[in-house]
Amino acid sequence: YKLENRKLRFVYLSKLNDEVTDDKKLLDEIEKFYDNQGYPEDMNTFIGYMPQDSYTNCKILILRFHEFLNLEGEQLRLI
């Protein structure tokens, strides 16, 4: 069940990434998804309201999100 949930999460987040072109709106949509999924810890690094170890801005959060998607896709062997 956990693996299938990760796959569905990857597909949903990838679709958001492809369809939402405004970075701020993308981050807002990601945060809504994060909230609805029960605050998965592996997504903390690109959620704007979560405490971060270093300075962050919108561009940095988007970069971290893309890194997450790439790593998740490789681990799930979906990309």
Q: What is the pLDDT of residue 25?
A: 97
Q: What is the pLDDT of residue 24?
A: 96
Q: What is the pLDDT of residue 78?
A: 67
pLDDT over threshold 60, residue 79: no
**Amino acid (one-letter) located at 27:** L
How many C-beta atoms surround the C-beta of residue 4 within 10 A?
8
What total number of domains does the chain contain? 1
Q: Is 15 exposed, middle or buried (CB count within 10 Å of its CB: 0-12, 13-18, 19+)? A: exposed
Name the residue range of residue 71's domain.
Answer: 2-76
Least confident of 4-8, 50-54, 60-64: 50-54
Predicted confidence (pLDDT) per residue in 8-59, tens digit: 999 999 999 999 999 999 999 999 999 999 999 999 999 999 988 888 899 9
Torsion, Cα 42 46 51 53, to 10 degrees, reads 90
